[in-house]
Amino acid sequence: AFLHGLPGVDRVGADQRAAMLGTRSIKTTAKARAIDLAISMVDLTTLEGADTAGKVRAMCVKAVHPGGGAPRVAAVCVYPDLVPVAVAAVAGSGVKVASVATAFPSGRSSLEVKVADTALAVAAGADEIDMVIDRGAFLSGDYLKVYEEIVAVKAACGEAHLKVILETGELVTYDNVRRASWLAMLAGADFIKTSTGKVSPAATLPVTLIMLEAVRDFRDRTGRQVGVKPAGGIRTTKDAVKNLVLVQETAGEDWLSPDWFRLGASSLLNDLLMQREKLATGRYAGPDYFTLDS
């Protein structure tokens, strides 16, 4: 009843506001600061069936030392079995290790398996857990099941932070995105996350806008701040800057920090580094100047 009592989302208004904010232009010094801030917010990610320990180690080196004096990224995100590799590779650097869990990306498994999956990743040293909700349960109106699963996974996280993936591309409506955001926060999420990156559309600006409004309103109502992580389809510096503008204009400066806003991506970092090099030297460095991430 509470979730359905939330105000409905004006779809046209949300689309128009996100489009308008996406046209904001940031120049010179402000752009340089925005690029470094975006780099510091990246969750550098590899979530492929062909992932190897070597690939994860190489990604971790880049996460810690992106190159050119750029700041380190916020975290690396890997499958649970590769958490020990990532933990060893980033030790002492300040880069967090995140792991997907709970039968990622489908979420189709028993609660016992989801909790065990989470516990194993945390025991291996994961600082953060990215869980997926049961979209089937949510879309059929079984909100209590979704709530109880998030509560159980949050308990299994212990000291690790919990990011709850809504998979907004499967939620059909903006109203559902708002309801799922509130449901996850009420159940104890530390972050709400748009997508697994395996479903299209992923992190659209209107969806991120709705989630930012949700965390803002949730803090106003409860006093607890929750982070937001758009993930999937964020590939260019322009995409990243649009998201930062969205944060500033919707939730406010309190969220302009890696503690409260992340960008889930695999190929974004290279474009940020290329644009950073161009601002610093006046010369555009091609993609072959940087290591490949995907």
Domain boundaries, the chain: 2-282
Tokens of 258: 């890696």
Residues 6+ apart with CB under 8 A from 188: 150, 151, 154, 162
The mean per-residue pLDDT over the stretch 208-231 comes to: 98
The mean per-residue pLDDT over the stretch 2-11 comes to: 94
The pLDDT score that the predictor gives to residue 162 is 98
144: left (phi over 0), alpha (psi -120 to 50) or beta: alpha
**286 vs 40, higher pLDDT:** 40
pLDDT over threshold 60, residue 294: no
Spatial distance between the Cα atoms of 195 and 198, rounded to a whole number of angstroms: 8
The pLDDT score that the predictor gives to residue 86 is 98
Q: Using alpha carbons, select from 282, 289, 272 the residue that is nearest to residue 44.
A: 272
The pLDDT score that the predictor gives to residue 293 is 54
The mean per-residue pLDDT over the stretch 209-231 comes to: 98
**Angle (CA) 64 161 69, round 5°:** 15
Specify which residues 231 forms β-bridges with: 264
Catalytic residues: 130, 193, 229
Query: How many Cβ atoms are within 10 Å of 97's Cβ, its own excluded?
Result: 28
C-beta of residue 113 within 8 angstroms of C-beta of residue 80: no
The pLDDT score that the predictor gives to residue 289 is 64
What does pTM read for this prediction?
0.95
CATH H-level, domain 2-282: superfamily = Aldolase class I (3.20.20.70)
Q: Using alpha carbons, select from 113, 155, 156 the residue that is nearest to residue 134.
A: 113
The pLDDT score that the predictor gives to residue 25 is 80
pLDDT tens per residue across span 53-94: 999 999 999 999 998 899 999 999 999 999 999 999 999 999
Specify which residues 67 forms β-bridges with: none
The pLDDT score that the predictor gives to residue 290 is 67
Three-state SS sequence of the chain: CCHHHCCCCCHHHHHHHHHHHCCCCCCHHHHHHHHHHHHHHEEEECCCCCCCHHHHHHHHHHHHCCCCCCCCCCEEEECHHHHHHHHHHHCCCCCEEEEECCCCCCCCCCHHHHHHHHHHHHHCCCCEEEEECCHHHHHCCCHHHHHHHHHHHHHHHCCCEEEEECCHHHCCCHHHHHHHHHHHHHCCCCEEECCCCCCCCCCCHHHHHHHHHHHHHHHHHHCCCCEEECECCCCCHHHHHHHHHHHHHHCCHHHCCCCCECEEECCHHHHHHHHHHHHHHCCCCCHHHCCCCC
Amino acid at 139: L
The pLDDT score that the predictor gives to residue 68 is 87
pLDDT tens per residue across span 130-179: 999 999 999 999 999 999 999 999 999 999 999 999 999 999 999 999 99
